[in-house]
Structure formats: structure tokens, C-alpha cells
Amino acid sequence: MAKDILKGVFITGLIFIVSAFIPIVGFFCAVFIPLPTLYYRRKLGRTGGAIIPILSAFILVALIGRISIDGIFLLELLFMGFVVGELFDLRLSIEKTFLYAGGSVLLTEAVALLMISATSAEGIFATISEYVSLNLELIVIVYRDMGMSAENIQLLSRSLDIIHYYLVRIIPSLVVSSTLFLIWTSVLLARPLLRNRKLFYPDFGKFNLWKAPDFLVWVVIACGLIMLFFDNPATVISLNALIILGTVYFFQGIAIVSYFFEKKGFSRRLRIVLYSLIAIQQLLLLVVIGLGFFDMWLNFRKIKPQGT
């Protein structure tokens, strides 16, 4: 067990280093932080599996030097992996697994943010606002170093106040959406990893047949109407709700895409290329969300209603 623990801490620490200190690349590497914790929770059990995120958390704090919002985000990814590994034992549905894991992570994040804002003698809104400002400035620096034209840099700099205004107000939905996305990624990546090593993985059914509850379509329509006919704060609340629901319909849309990739017999290499295009092309991403949303009426996969 000691060898497995050291290996798990080493792998997690390596991902931490890349995530914390290498811009852009580190952001994508952070997606893999929950996976070692989840894997070793399944392999070593609760006690042995808990040692890895605890030791890794100490390493992260030592690397960063203090507890910051970025540090909380990375620590929550450790917690996420362990919680998902725990929930696998309960053999819940995929929806309940997401709900319980997401709720646990979001609750601990909220408590941690409140503690940071309390120790900094600032309100939580001011803490988040300052964090957004610092990251927007960092983005400008990164774009400048990447060779973006001076004209575009000036245009971006002039727009920072507007971008900051809206980003601060949609932070709740961005946090929820990113949490759901990271849980989704962890659950998908864990399936081949655990099964190849003969470790238990719940029977969630075929992911490419998953669909969101039908009533959510009407919630989307209601939020859209509110944004058209009402002002703040109703507009801000509706916008946050639409971003979260957009994530849910992305899951349904990508399930539809996966269904047709499988039906047409696309090779794994081709699938990776097409999934990568969806990830980097915003227009394709919106198309996938649209597929998920309109699936209620068009039933792209011809799924028969339950009970028929």
C-alpha cells in the first residue's frame, strides 16, 4: 500500500505543479487532478485512498505558499475525486452521483471562500471581484506574450471593465458548470481506467443514451423570456440559470454525437479529432448544446419513451 500511496502522491503532485505554474496548459491539466484520487480510493479503500489527497493537499499548500482562490479550486478537485470514488460504492444513478458530488464540492467551496473573505477583512463579493481583476490582467499579459497585435491588446484592455462587470455576476454559474463538467470528465475517464484494472465501476448504462429531464426545456424558455422582459436582478439570475442549463444540454448533445459516432463506426482516432474540434471551436460547442436542447422534440436517437 505504501508504494501505491507514494505513487499516487507523486502523480498528483506532478499534475499540481503543471496546473499551478504553467498558464493555459495548466488549466487543461487540472482536469486530471481528481482522477488519481478517484482511482486510488477504489484501489486502496477509504483509509488508504484518503491519505493521498491529504498528503497532496500539503504539497499544494507548500508549493503555492498560501491558501488562495486558485488553491481552493485545486484542493476541491482532490476532494471531488475522493467523493466520486465514495459514491461509486452506493451504486447510485448517474444523476444522483452528479447531484451529491457536485453539492458536496460546491458546499465546501462556499465555506472555504467565506473563510478567506473573513480573514482578509473583505466581503466575499470584493474578494471575488479582486480575483477576477487579477486574472483578467494576467490574460492580457499572456496574449501580449503570445504575440497578439498591439491594436487588439488595446481593444481588450479597454473592454476589461465591461468583461469584469459581467464575469463577477456570472461567477456562480461558472463555478457550478465547471464543477459539473469536471465530475463528468472524471466519471468518463475513470471507466476505462478502473475496468482495465479489474476495479469496481458502477453500471450507469450507456452514456450516449442519456437525456436530461424534459421539463428543463421549459425552464430554459422561461429564463429566456425573463431576460427579454425584465431587468436586474432577475436577468442576472436567469443568465446564471441558462449557463448551468447549457452545461446540462451540452452533456445531452455530446451523448447524441457519441451515439452517431458509434452507429457510423467511426474509429477511435477520428473520434478524438472530432471531439477536439468540438472542444476548441465555440460554434461547434453551441451546435452540440443545440442538439441537446432540441432533442426533446426531434428525438435524434429515436429513443422510445419509457413504458412503451
**Does residue 101 contact residue 83 with C-beta atoms inside 8 Å?**
yes
What is the reported pLDDT for 306?
61
Share the mean pLDDT of the chain: 87
Q: Which of 1-5, 102-106, 193-197 has the lowest mean pLDDT?
A: 1-5
Distance CA(150)–CA(7), nearest Å, equals 46
| Phi-psi label, residue 17: left if phi above 0, alpha if psi -120 to 50, beta otherwise | alpha
Average pLDDT of the segment spanning 18-33: 77
Percent of the chain whose predicted confidence (pLDDT) is above 70: 96
- Side chain identity at 254, as an amino acid letter? I
**What's the grid cell of residue 241?**
440559470
Cα three-residue angle 105-108-112, rounded to 5 degrees:
135
Mean pLDDT of 148-158: 81
pLDDT of residue 27: 72
pLDDT at 282: 84
